[in-house]
Every structure is written in structure tokens, then in C-alpha cells.
Amino acid sequence: MTPKTMQRLFLREAAFMLFLARLAVRCVPAARIFAWAKRPPRRIRRFAADDVRWTTWAIDRVAGGAGVKSACLPRALAAHAMLRRRGISSRLCLGVARAGGETLAHAWLEVGDDKVVGGKEAGAFTRVAEFGGAR
């Protein structure tokens, strides 16, 4: 498959998964979402670094482009779904931080020891929960 075809496929899937993730965050109880996130993939692929990079690129591209800013939780859920579909185990992490009297929350996704989606900001947050993936 050519790189151009891969781009189009990953971008389409990312747009669809982000739509579903936004809908789930608004309409589905959090307990059901996190119960889904805890389930492992049906099959495990250990060496899929290219798929992880393509997924990260596609989610960042779709979520941050064309005036459509996406919150961190739908982005992490969409990437988690895309990776899980490919048999790649990932962890959905939730954290909190204090900034000037405010409590901030953040969600990010990890594959192995690497922070994949939303990981740049994750360093300032204290992890309070994680769902899925082996540690």
C-alpha cells in the first residue's frame, strides 16, 4: 500500500473514531466507557510501531485541524479504539493537576512506556486512573 493510501485510510478512520468518541463521551455513562477501555484486544500484535505512529499522526491531524479542536478524552478514546482494532495494547490514563487554585484534568494514551496521544502535556499531571494495557 502506498503512503498516500495509508494516509487517507488512517485519516478517515481517525475522523470516524473521533466522531464516535465525542458521541460516547456525551451520551454513554462513564462506567461503560471505562469498562470498554479495560478490555484487552482480541489478538495481540507486539511489533506494530508503524501503526502506532500512523494512528498518532492521524488523530493529531484530524483533532487539531480545520478549526475543530477536540478535547483530550475523545482523542485518547479514539486512538485507543484504533490501536485496539489493530491488536495493539494501550492504556488510557487520567490525571489531575492544580494550577492557580483550579483543578485541571487530562487524558492521554500510552503504548508500553511511551506516551502516545496527549502525552506532551501529561508530565504536569498526577495519574489517578488507568484503563487497559499491561503495565
Q: DSSP characters for 7-18?
A: HHHHHHHHHHHH
The yes-or-no verdict on residue 115 having pLDDT over 90 is no
In the predicted model, what is the mean pLDDT of residues 38-55? 83
Element (H, E) at 56: helix 49-64
Mean pLDDT, the chain, whole residue set: 87
The yes-or-no verdict on residue 23 having pLDDT over 70 is yes
* Burial call 42-68: b when 16+ CB within 10 Å, e when fewer: eeeeeebeebbebbbebbbebbeeeee
Instruction: Give pTM, 2 decimals.
Output: 0.88
**DSSP 3-state assignment of 71?**
coil
User: What is the grid cell recorded at 90?
Assistant: 494501550
Burial of 81 (0-12, 13-18, 19+ CB in 10 A): buried
The yes-or-no verdict on residue 73 having pLDDT over 70 is yes
Under the banding of pLDDT at 50, 70 and 90, the label for residue 135 is low
Query: Between these two residues, 132 and 11, which has the higher pLDDT value?
Result: 11
Residue 123: CA count within 13 A, CB half-sphere:
2
Question: What's the pLDDT at 119?
Answer: 74
CA distance 42 to 87: 7
The yes-or-no verdict on residue 1 having pLDDT over 70 is yes
Under the banding of pLDDT at 50, 70 and 90, the label for residue 40 is confident
At which residue does the C-alpha cell 463521551 appear?
Answer: 25
In the predicted model, what is the mean pLDDT of residues 25-45? 90
